[in-house]
């Protein structure tokens, strides 16, 4: 499927997104288990020129041949770091080929993506509870708590996150750069007629979708994707464009710390073989402060930041306070254009001064 046709089909599928949306409030919901998740589908460009562009887009800034942290950067350096190159893309054909080769393994819960399958025990309830909190008790549907919500799943892979969200009632558009991943997702969807009409998969990029569907989604999810793209700022910017005012943006990703490199790359890939060697590149990891910075710059305020920990013995994930390895962020887009972005630390100081 070519890009223009894919975008047209996505526009057709989402033509009714502008209808009235309920103003809703939270009612409790038990954590579901045994639901699956998915891997990434939007990746980094391999061209030398784009790799040169990328060097100043990472979580540190090079000054006088040394890296500086966010706190050490001048306002001009921050602006340069998070500036979006016009020609920049999130796609890396080499990465697409690598994950396409693994496409047949998406639904093997004890295989290559086992750790990702278990992550659904955290991220599905996170997304569900954040969205359901906007419903009133009269609008709350116990069987389908996400009924009425439109969700964009960026890097939908084999559909392992899209399907459980659809089972909770959400209407899902999954986008992925790999045609093989899309075919696997579509083939697996056939096995569940109950959600067949709730999920649509498109072989395209988030940049293409953002051109035609800005402001159409109640929520945009980019789970385990950010650490695989060429330009994190472009991905965040597109995600924030796609969500409607008052809507939610969700990210799960890996922090840019030494311990994250040790456990997430060295141990997970080379020692325990939980992931294929070369799955992650520490240079592309993003720190929570930097992600919050980018979200705020795009009119989205961070509402929640949680650390996540994977236990290779129990093969289960759990929430923790420490965000030094894996973490999840939930942000909400401002209701109006009057939202003024400020650095996260400045916002915190202002809030403390008012208390």
Q: How far is CA 188 from CA 38, 104, 201, in A?
A: 13, 11, 12
Residues with Cβ within 8 Å of 300's Cβ and at least 6 positions away in sequence, in order, are 240, 243, 249, 331, 332, 333, 334
223 is in an annotated binding site: yes
Instruction: Identify whether the C-beta of residue 253 lies closer than 8 Å to the C-beta of residue 227.
Output: yes
Superfamily of domain 3-15+39-354: Vaccinia Virus protein VP39 (3.40.50.150)
Query: How big is the chain by its Cα radius of gyration, in Å?
Result: 19
Tokens 């989604």 appear where? 217
How far, in Å, CA of 355 to CA of 341, rounded?
20
pLDDT reported for residue 77: 57
Instruction: Identify whether the C-beta of residue 104 lies closer than 8 Å to the C-beta of residue 183.
Output: no
pLDDT reported for residue 139: 85
228 is in an annotated binding site: yes
176 is in an annotated binding site: yes
244 is in an annotated binding site: no
DSSP 100-116: HTTGGGTT-TTSTTHHH
Q: Domain ranges in the chain?
A: 3-15+39-354
* Residue 140: closest CA among 61, 24, 239: 24
pLDDT tens across the length of the chain (355 residues): 443 444 344 444 433 444 433 333 323 333 333 333 333 333 333 333 333 333 333 334 434 444 444 455 665 554 454 443 333 555 544 444 444 445 578 898 888 888 889 999 999 999 999 999 988 888 889 899 999 999 999 999 999 999 999 999 999 999 999 898 999 999 999 999 999 999 999 999 999 999 999 999 999 999 999 998 989 999 999 999 999 999 999 999 999 999 999 988 888 888 888 777 878 788 899 999 999 999 999 999 999 999 999 998 999 999 999 999 999 999 999 987 544 444 444 444 444 444 3
224 is in an annotated binding site: yes
How far, in Å, CA of 333 to CA of 2, rounded?
31
123 is in an annotated binding site: yes
């Amino acid at each position: 499927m070519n890009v223009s046709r894919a975008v047209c089909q996505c526009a057709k599928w989402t033509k009714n997104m502008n209808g009235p949306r309920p103003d809703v409030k939270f009612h409790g919901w038990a954590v579901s288990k045994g639901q699956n998740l998915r891997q990434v589908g939007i990746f980094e460009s391999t061209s030398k020129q784009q790799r040169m562009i990328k060097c100043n887009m990472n979580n540190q800034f090079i000054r006088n041949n040394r890296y500086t942290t966010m706190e050490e950067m001048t306002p001009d350096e921050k602006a340069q770091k998070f500036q979006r190159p016009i020609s920049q893309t999130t796609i890396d054909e080499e990465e697409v080929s690598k994950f396409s080769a693994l496409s047949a393994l998406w639904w093997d819960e004890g295989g290559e993506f086992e750790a990702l399958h278990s992550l659904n025990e955290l991220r599905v309830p996170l997304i569900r509870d954040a969205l359901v909190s906007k419903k009133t008790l009269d609008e709350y549907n116990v069987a389908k708590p996400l009924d009425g919500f439109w969700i964009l799943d960026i890097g939908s892979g084999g559909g392992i996150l899209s399907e459980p969200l659809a089972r909770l009632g959400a209407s899902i558009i999954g986008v992925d750069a790999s045609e093989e991943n899309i075919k696997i997702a579509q083939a697996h969807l056939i096995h569940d007629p109950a959600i067949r009409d709730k999920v649509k998969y498109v072989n395209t990029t988030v940049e293409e979708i953002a051109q035609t569907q800005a402001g159409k989604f109640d929520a945009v999810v980019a789970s385990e994707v950010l650490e695989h793209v060429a330009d994190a700022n472009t991905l965040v910017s597109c995600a924030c464009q796609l969500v409607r005012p008052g809507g939610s943006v969700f990210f799960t990703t890996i922090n840019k710390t030494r311990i994250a490199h040790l456990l997430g790359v060295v141990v997970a890939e080379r020692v325990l073989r939980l992931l294929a060697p070369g799955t992650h590149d520490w240079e592309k990891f993003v720190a929570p402060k930097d992600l919050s910075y980018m979200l705020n710059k795009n009119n989205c305020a961070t509402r929640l930041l949680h650390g996540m920990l994977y236990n290779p013995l129990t093969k289960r994930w759990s929430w923790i306070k420490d965000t030094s390895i894996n973490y999840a962020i939930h942000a909400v887009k401002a209701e109006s254009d009057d939202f003024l972005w400020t650095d996260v630390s400045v916002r915190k100081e202002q809030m403390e001064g008012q208390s």
